Amino acid sequence: MLESRLPRVYTDHPIMQQLQALAEVELFHDCSLTFRVNDGKLRSSVFLLSLCSPVLYKLLCGQFKETESREACIEEMSREAFEGALRLWLGEAVSVSSVDELVEIGRAADRFGMLRVCEAVQDAICAQLNKDWRVCVDTLNCCDGSALEKAAAHARKIAVDCFDALCASERLCELSAKELCALLDNDELCVDKEEEVLELVARWCNVRGDGGDDGVRLVGMVRFGVMGRDYLEGRACGLFRGAVREAVEARVR
């Protein structure tokens, strides 16, 4: 299990402890949030939600239809992710079973402007990466397109340092083209032989058919000049198909 929580200077404050208790009092539940993912619903307090999120404050207390109805629909988010962020903001410790769940909580916190929560989630992800480098691929995939850049940057560093081991595990084939390019472009990439990089790119392309334009771009980041001529003229070209093979043949010539 992975655990995240805000610093004790925040969680141990008497006001936060009182808010935790009041958050469960149904008498104060004067608004409703409906989450499109899994059709989850949450009853809560406009005052509480306005305290934790400037975004929800504007939504529930501004010039919007939600202000009058006290009901809001939240797209592309689960109740579990939002509740995790809310519980963290209230000073509770939140335990989840995977990095994916932590990232979803971080995404919710970022979307609703819960900055302390977003920072705490990223710290928890980084701590888990330090314990288990194998979760770096999951972290990069989940963080893609989010504002969790601190966690993503740490995952990239771990992936660069453990590149040889990741190649052997085939996990790098799960990365997006953008993330794999970022790794291959890193001058500190730890790899014994550049042939391993080319073989990885070949496996990545084959998983996706022939790799297409992304495959051509990845091949362009491989250092052909440090590989043996026999390997390049023998095995290298046969690893690829279509436009990517043409790109490799052009580099070999």
pLDDT at 36 (0 to 100): 86
pLDDT at 97 (0 to 100): 93
Which among 37, 3, 42 has a CA at the least distance from the CA of 23? 42
**73, 36 in Cβ contact below 8 A?**
yes
**Residues 124, 111: Cα–Cα separation, whole Å:** 18
**Residues 5, 95: Cα–Cα separation, whole Å:** 9
pTM: 0.85
pLDDT at 211 (0 to 100): 75
**Residues 149, 138: Cα–Cα separation, whole Å:** 14
**53, 112 in Cβ contact below 8 A?**
yes
CA angle 124, 127, 128 (to 5 degrees): 90
**Residues 106, 110: Cα–Cα separation, whole Å:** 6
**85, 78 in Cβ contact below 8 A?**
no
Q: Which residue has the tokens 């306005």?
A: 50
pLDDT at 127 (0 to 100): 95
CA angle 145, 109, 43 (to 5 degrees): 130
pLDDT at 122 (0 to 100): 96
Which among 69, 97, 101 has a CA at the least distance from the CA of 82? 101
pLDDT at 1 (0 to 100): 78
Per-residue pLDDT of the chain (253 residues; tens, 9 = 90+): 789 999 988 888 888 889 988 898 999 999 999 998 877 899 999 999 999 999 999 999 988 877 788 899 999 999 999 999 999 999 999 999 999 999 999 999 999 999 999 999 999 999 999 999 989 999 999 998 888 999 999 999 999 999 988 888 888 899 999 999 999 999 888 788 999 999 999 999 988 887 789 999 999 999 999 999 999 988 998 999 899 999 999 998 8
Can you point out the beta strands (E) in 53-152? 71-78, 94-96
Quick one: residue 106, left, alpha or beta (phi over 0 = left, psi -120 to 50 = alpha)?
alpha
**Residues 50, 81: Cα–Cα separation, whole Å:** 18
Q: Show the 3-state SS of 147-206.
A: CCHHHHHHHHHHHHHCHHHHHHHCHHHHCCHHHHHHHHCCCCCCCCCHHHHHHHHHHHHH
* Bridge partners (DSSP) listed for residue 34: 41, 73
